[in-house]
Chains A and B, each alone.
Chain A
Amino acid sequence: MEPNIPLLELVGIRKSFGGVAALTDVDFTLNAGEIHGLVGENGAGKSTLMKIIAGVHAEYQGTMRLAGKPVRFRSARDAKAAGIGMVHQELSIVRDLSVAENVLLGVQPLNRFGLVDYPKMTRIAGEQLQRLGIDVDPRLPAGALPLGLQQLIEIARVLFSGARIIILDEPTSALSPPEVERLFDLLRRVRDEGHSLVFISHFLDDILRVSDTITIFRNGRRIETAPVRRIDKRWIIERMIGAGHEELEESYTGEIQLHSRPDAKVVMTAEGLTRPGMFEDVSLDVRAGEVLGIYGFMGSGQLELARALFGKLGLARGRVLLDGRETHLVNTAAARRAGIAFVPESRRDMLFHMEPVFKNVSISILDRISRLWVRPNAERTIANKHVMSLQIRPPLVDRPLGTLSGGNQQKVALAKWLTFLPRVLLLSEPTRGMDVGAKDDVLKIVKSLRAEGIGVVVVSTEPETVLSLADRILVMKRGRIAREFADEVVSKDRLLAAA
């Protein structure tokens, strides 16, 4: 192979989903023996590009060359056969099999009776792991190992299956600092053996530490590629969110003055909340008539924290006080009785698709309007009021919820808690996947609830969501609160820099 031919080269890649462009004229080059970091916001196109490389998306325009030869993968199997492996955020480790079986999954050595040759398998896997510097007994069940080790084992497997190019999607999001260190050692070792790695991450510090080259994506375009020694975090963030005038639409770069309400009554206090592996030692105050935003990357623990505050996830340590009184959130029913409401990020998870709209709206207040007997007409009256005020279409409360459009279903999900009027409302990703109009509706609803003196908590992985709704912002990083922004000027790049 000539030294100046890149290992993998993509030219003029275009890809759209249902008329919406996901990638526009993207060129991408991966050299042999490099770690290539990919950064960009959610929806910037980096995952789509990697799925094209890994054969997941077979329909696209443009050309791909592997070691100078044009290739076109029709399936993930094609890509795998060509030496491209992918390690997803959700590991595909088989928890009940041993480490050795996982490393040699699908290529187990057989003895002369056609049965799996366990001693040989253990030996081969052991050698492979040792060569990569992974210190683990290949006979142990993989599921019993910590997540960091499982990930190294998965990388070992991808290597053993013959991959020359390994794509890692958010490999550090769930790891502790020492585990990250060990992962980086492995990645460098694999690179020095001549393999190429693509490293996708939201954690800019991690990207900067381990990559040789960094490519930045924004709105489906490749913005810039540069060797890592010439750039810093600030430089990346500017390009990620698009400073200047080129991208006016959604990239919010303006600065916002936060006005917290330190004099307002504290309705909920959390002290030292801990759930190992999700969040550690989180303390916070929720004040009446204030919107508290909690921002962090995917996997930083804020989504889980919101669930724990609603009694859906148990706490290992810490306590929650409502109006100064300790409240045991043993289950969601206890949380609701205490005056806490929660809207999960997946609206599907909180709606009953076979049931009529009015039963969906009334379910959370049923114990207030009826003791023993249900009163469907009272429920219909309440539901009708919300259907009118939120302009839910069609305005028929007896229609099964499943027959409504997605946007209208989301309004029903919110309507549920409008009647409930909680002390504290927890919203998880309240505007995810919504168009501008629907986002505006949510904004109005949240403002009106705040005006009624409800303490609102918005948790999100999207900085725009938190910036547009919150009066005070906490930033979470790897399960801990990393920074609080109150009564100061914030902007998207400051949030990103703190996370």
Chain B
Amino acid sequence: MTDSTAVAPARRAAASGWLQAQLRNIAPFATLIVLVALFSALSPSFTTFDNFTNILSQISVTGIIAVGLTFVILCAEIDLSVASVANAVGIVIAYFTLQDPSVNIHNVPLPGAAAIVLGLVVSVLFGCATAIGMTVIGIPSFIMTLAMLQIGAGICAMLVRGQIAYNVPSLIHTLGAGSIGPVPWIVIIAALVLLIGHIVLTYTRFGRYIYMTGGNREAAEYSGINTKAIIASVMVIAAVCSGLAGMLGVARFGSAQQDEFGDFLLDSISAVVVGGTSLFGGQGGIGNTIVGLFVLGVLNNGLDHIRIDSFLKILIRGLILLLALIVNVYAQRMRTRAATTAAAS
């Protein structure tokens, strides 16, 4: 057999292998384009600049949470406490802010800066508790963060006791609810957090260690990486992102109360996974999460524009998530197969 005949099928195999390997990145992007085209055709009000800004601010809080969650999922772990931590931290800063006398909460008014610092400290404490539970005691992340979810909900309940607080520090109010020109501040913050997340994951040594730990934890350990430290750090990062999202979230919603972040757990996990980051760790990134955020944002927003039954909307979101999970698993399988067949030839 001459060289050229041997090379041609090999090259074709390599090309199809590349396509298979990119499936996890292509599929979410194709989904996004299809959804945009669909809603543009169905509703003229969907394709307006105002609506675009609207979508951006709708996905901002989810986006900030999803950055932390991307770190966690890249390590092949999960954090179910993100929405609960966001809620708790949002309530903490309201608790330390002077409220209207009509609000019947025995709160402790502090200067705005002190409230914000306390909010961040509480986020870090949540992250540290999760990290210690997982790496020192050895509790699986699924169960550990489930417990933290409940603890966060408990702190919310204890602080507000069924009441609603309205005031937050003025800086947080500006960043969460204000705009600079036509652009809401919260969109800028979300974009910054996504950018920083992307830079850390792609260009730093720490980011590389995250991918390696998620890709093959055993191999990372045999390479002399302190995988426990890496996992502990990503849990703290996830909690801080959630805390930040919680502060800006209560400002955006205009109130701090129990159970107001209920949808954000599912939304942020969906955004990460729909975007194509592997639930098995080591594959994906912030780029994927951004696409996932837009898929969810466009879907939620677009369904409103075409006046679909709001109950059906919930079902549709569930089906989209299921579809994304199926693609996720198949992408993993095809990629592994592409790697092994190429090795065999």
- Kindly identify which residue among A335, A352, A353 contacts B224, using a CB–CB cutoff of 8 Å: A335
Closest to B282 in A: A354
Which of A353, A354, A371 counts the most chain B CB atoms within 10 A?
A: A354
Q: What chain A residues lie within 8 Å of B336 (beta carbons)?
A: 353, 402
Binds A, one of B34-42, B211-219, B319-327: B211-219
| A405, CB-defined interface residue at 8 Å | yes
Asked whether B205 lies within 8 Å of A350 as measured between CB atoms, the reply is no
- Kindly identify which residue among B204, B223, B339 contacts A400, using a CB–CB cutoff of 8 Å: B339
Asked whether A403 lies within 8 Å of B339 as measured between CB atoms, the reply is yes
Which residues of chain B in 196-226 are interfacial with respect to chain A, using CB atoms and an 8 Å cutoff?
203-205, 207-209, 211-212, 215-216, 218-226
Q: When A354-B335, A371-B205, A373-B204 are in contact, do A406 and B343 touch as well, CB less than 8 Å?
A: yes
Q: What chain A residues lie within 8 Å of B225 (beta carbons)?
A: 332-333, 363
- Kindly identify which residue among A332, A353, A371 contacts B221, using a CB–CB cutoff of 8 Å: A332
- Kindly identify which residue among B218, B219, B282, B340 contacts A402, using a CB–CB cutoff of 8 Å: B340
Asked whether A337 lies within 8 Å of B219 as measured between CB atoms, the reply is no
Asked whether A350 lies within 8 Å of B224 as measured between CB atoms, the reply is no
* Cα–Cα, bound, A359→B336 (Å): 18
* Cα–Cα, bound, A312→B205 (Å): 22
Q: How many residues on A have C-beta within 8 angstroms of the other chain's C-beta atoms?
A: 37
| A386, CB-defined interface residue at 8 Å | no
* Cα–Cα, bound, A335→B225 (Å): 10
* Cα–Cα, bound, A12→B24 (Å): 53
| B229, CB-defined interface residue at 8 Å | yes
Asked whether A332 lies within 8 Å of B340 as measured between CB atoms, the reply is no
Closest to B339 in A: A402
Q: What chain A residues lie within 8 Å of B343 (beta carbons)?
A: 402-406, 409
Which residues of chain A in 307-344 are interfacial with respect to chain B, using CB atoms and an 8 Å cutoff?
310, 312, 331-337, 341-342, 344
- Fill in one digit per residue for A397-438: 1 if any B CB lies within 8 Å of its CB, else 0: 000101111100100000010000000000000000000000
Asked whether A312 lies within 8 Å of B224 as measured between CB atoms, the reply is no
Q: How far is the CB of B7 from chain A (nearest CB, A)?
A: 12
Q: When A402-B340, A402-B342 are in contact, do A373 and B203 touch as well, CB less than 8 Å?
A: yes
Q: What chain A residues lie within 8 Å of B203 (beta carbons)?
A: 373-374
Closest to B17 in A: A403
Closest to A355 in B: B215
* Cα–Cα, bound, A404→B339 (Å): 8
Q: What chain B residues lie within 8 Å of A371 (beta carbons)?
A: 205
| A366, CB-defined interface residue at 8 Å | yes
| A349, CB-defined interface residue at 8 Å | yes
Asked whether B205 lies within 8 Å of A353 as measured between CB atoms, the reply is no
* Cα–Cα, bound, A354→B224 (Å): 19
- Kindly identify which residue among B216, B226, B228 contacts A352, using a CB–CB cutoff of 8 Å: B216
Which residues of chain B in 250-265 are interfacial with respect to chain A, using CB atoms and an 8 Å cutoff?
none
Asked whether B216 lies within 8 Å of A366 as measured between CB atoms, the reply is no
Which residues of chain B in 326-345 are interfacial with respect to chain A, using CB atoms and an 8 Å cutoff?
335-336, 339-340, 342-343
Q: When A344-B222, A372-B204 are in contact, do A355 and B211 touch as well, CB less than 8 Å?
A: yes
Closest to B216 in A: A352
Q: What total count of A-B pairs have CB within 8 Å? A: 93
Which residues of chain B in 219-245 are interfacial with respect to chain A, using CB atoms and an 8 Å cutoff?
219-226, 228-229
Q: How far is the CB of B202 from chain A (nearest CB, A)?
A: 8
| B283, CB-defined interface residue at 8 Å | yes
Asked whether B223 lies within 8 Å of A364 as measured between CB atoms, the reply is yes
Which of A352, A373, A409 counts the most chain B CB atoms within 10 A?
A: A352
Q: How many residues on B have C-beta within 8 angstroms of the other chain's C-beta atoms?
A: 31
- Fill in one digit per residue for A367-383: 1 if any B CB lies within 8 Å of its CB, else 0: 10011111000000000
| A351, CB-defined interface residue at 8 Å | yes
Which residues of chain B in 106-162 are interfacial with respect to chain A, using CB atoms and an 8 Å cutoff?
none
Which of B205, B209, B212, B228 counts the most chain A CB atoms within 10 A?
A: B205
Asked whether B219 lies within 8 Å of A351 as measured between CB atoms, the reply is yes
Asked whether A366 lies within 8 Å of B208 as measured between CB atoms, the reply is yes
- Kindly identify which residue among A312, A403, A406 contacts B222, using a CB–CB cutoff of 8 Å: A312
- Kindly identify which residue among B209, B212, B221, B226 contacts A312, using a CB–CB cutoff of 8 Å: B221
Q: What chain B residues lie within 8 Å of A341 (beta carbons)?
A: 224
Q: How far is the CB of A135 from chain B (nearest CB, A)?
A: 35
* Cα–Cα, bound, A14→B229 (Å): 53
Closest to A369 in B: B205
* Cα–Cα, bound, A332→B205 (Å): 17
Asked whether A403 lies within 8 Å of B342 as measured between CB atoms, the reply is yes
Q: How far is the CB of B1 from chain A (nearest CB, A)?
A: 18
Closest to A370 in B: B205
Q: How far is the CB of A187 from chain B (nearest CB, A)?
A: 37
Asked whether A364 lies within 8 Å of B339 as measured between CB atoms, the reply is no
* Cα–Cα, bound, A296→B218 (Å): 25
Q: When A372-B205, A373-B203, A402-B342 are in contact, do A355 and B212 touch as well, CB less than 8 Å?
A: yes
Q: What chain B residues lie within 8 Å of A331 (beta carbons)?
A: 221, 226, 228
Asked whether B223 lies within 8 Å of A373 as measured between CB atoms, the reply is no
Asked whether B339 lies within 8 Å of A416 as measured between CB atoms, the reply is no
Closest to B229 in A: A333
Q: What chain A residues lie within 8 Å of B226 (beta carbons)?
A: 331-334
Q: What chain B residues lie within 8 Å of A334 (beta carbons)?
A: 226
Q: What chain B residues lie within 8 Å of A353 (beta carbons)?
A: 215-216, 336, 339
Q: What chain A residues lie within 8 Å of B215 (beta carbons)?
A: 352-355
Q: What chain B residues lie within 8 Å of A312 (beta carbons)?
A: 221-222
Q: How far is the CB of B228 from chain A (nearest CB, A)?
A: 7
Asked whether A374 lies within 8 Å of B208 as measured between CB atoms, the reply is yes
* Cα–Cα, bound, A374→B224 (Å): 17
Q: What chain B residues lie within 8 Å of A364 (beta carbons)?
A: 223-224
Q: How far is the CB of A188 from chain B (nearest CB, A)?
A: 42
Asked whether A337 lies within 8 Å of B224 as measured between CB atoms, the reply is yes
* Cα–Cα, bound, A369→B283 (Å): 24
* Cα–Cα, bound, A371→B205 (Å): 7
* Cα–Cα, bound, A335→B223 (Å): 10
Q: When A349-B218, A352-B215, A355-B212 are in contact, do A332 and B342 touch as well, CB less than 8 Å?
A: no
Asked whether B221 lies within 8 Å of A351 as measured between CB atoms, the reply is no
Q: What chain B residues lie within 8 Å of A366 (beta carbons)?
A: 205, 208-209
- Fill in one digit per residue for A242-267: 1 if any B CB lies within 8 Å of its CB, else 0: 00000000000000000000000000
* Cα–Cα, bound, A336→B21 (Å): 33
Q: What chain A residues lie within 8 Å of B223 (beta carbons)?
A: 332, 336, 350, 363-364, 416
Q: What chain A residues lie within 8 Å of B340 (beta carbons)?
A: 402
* Cα–Cα, bound, A367→B339 (Å): 29
Q: What chain B residues lie within 8 Å of A405 (beta carbons)?
A: 343
The 8 closest A-B pairs by CB, nearest first: A336-B224, A402-B339, A333-B226, A403-B342, A350-B222, A363-B223, A352-B215, A350-B219
Other than A332-B226, A341-B224, A352-B216, give 8 A-B pairs with Cβ distance below 8 A: A312-B222, A344-B222, A350-B222, A355-B212, A400-B21, A402-B339, A402-B340, A405-B343
Give 16 CB contacts A-B under 8 Å.
A312-B221, A332-B221, A332-B223, A349-B216, A352-B212, A353-B339, A354-B339, A355-B211, A355-B215, A363-B212, A363-B223, A373-B205, A374-B204, A405-B343, A406-B343, A409-B343
